[in-house]
Structure 1
């Protein structure tokens, strides 16, 4: 297995392990607010977007983020919802296979194969939403998003 293939398998395994008990609009607010607090504490100039289907259920930008960051977050979320997979794994998989978005009939105006968006999965329901961070390196965007979902998973497991 190549180094990239190993990385893809790790990303996919970490993603699939993050099953939530539920994901309501209140949960979206709690998750987004927590992620915003973490990013603000780090002075991270990011945009954060949570989508459930076509609906944006949380969105914010921190000081230093631009409208480009918000656009990237939206396009990363679109690809997660299309493939129900982390945008980081999708980007690496396309690179590994020598493919592009266009090979799937997808427009770069609507989709971005770049790290930073993660599916939000609910036990028994599958991928019902996605969260994206944009403004840092792709790996850092991804880490912020996946760690926030892990935090919410732990919070729900403790009964909150």
Structure 2
């Protein structure tokens, strides 16, 4: 699974990302979750600035805590929170057992994906909390893919 997760990070990169993009991507994520009946919290940040946040009924402040912990992992390692956790699982251990990071502050659980600018690297995060970790991860990856596909289509129609 690790090569697939690495491929996602290579493929799902942005040429640019701003406040309007955060709004569009956030609304796309909320729409997908709503269509599927998922009670999740969605968070998008550029650097330290939170640009988008939405919490469905049925979520709680615990989801916000999970989001903060996942974001710290992505910022520290520069990779999706699921990939970081999977790297440890591939070695037959867990992030919690081997990383020596405080679990109250760091969670290598799926759902946080870096906003990667081509030629620059990670500049922000897109995070979902509320589903099993693989489902959180897949929802974020799907939304980013749909967003990038739509942006590519818009740019082609302008050309």
Fold shared per TM-score above 0.5: yes
Matched, 1:96 2:112: no
Task: Decide whether the 8 Å contact of 1:21 with 1:156 is kept in 2.
Answer: no
Q: Distance in 1 between matches of 2:49 and 2:103?
A: 20
- Residues 55 and 106 (structure 1 numbering): CA distance in 2 closer, same or farther, change over 3 Å? farther
Structure 2: unaligned runs, 5 residues or longer: none
Which of 107, 110, 117 does residue 112 from structure 1 map onto?
Answer: 107
Which of 48, 54, 60 does residue 48 from structure 2 map onto?
Answer: 54
Task: Decide whether the 8 Å contact of 1:8 with 1:93 is kept in 2.
Answer: yes
Which of 10, 21, 27 does residue 4 from structure 2 map onto?
Answer: 10
Local SS of the residue matching 2:154 = coil
TM, length-normalised to structure 1: 0.88
TM, length-normalised to structure 2: 0.89
Instruction: Tell me how large the CA RMSD over aligned residues is.
Output: 1.6
- Residues 130 and 44 (structure 1 numbering): CA distance in 2 closer, same or farther, change over 3 Å? same
Task: Decide whether the 8 Å contact of 2:85 with 2:94 is kept in 1.
Answer: no
Q: Distance in 2 between matches of 1:130 and 1:121?
A: 9
Q: CA deviation at 1:117?
A: 1.0
Matched, 1:81 2:75: yes
Q: CA deviation at 1:123?
A: 1.5
Q: Distance in 2 between matches of 1:153 and 1:126?
A: 16
Structure 1 residue ranges, 4+ long, deviating more than 6 angstroms after superposition? none
Aligned residues: 154
Structure 1: unaligned runs, 5 residues or longer: 1-6
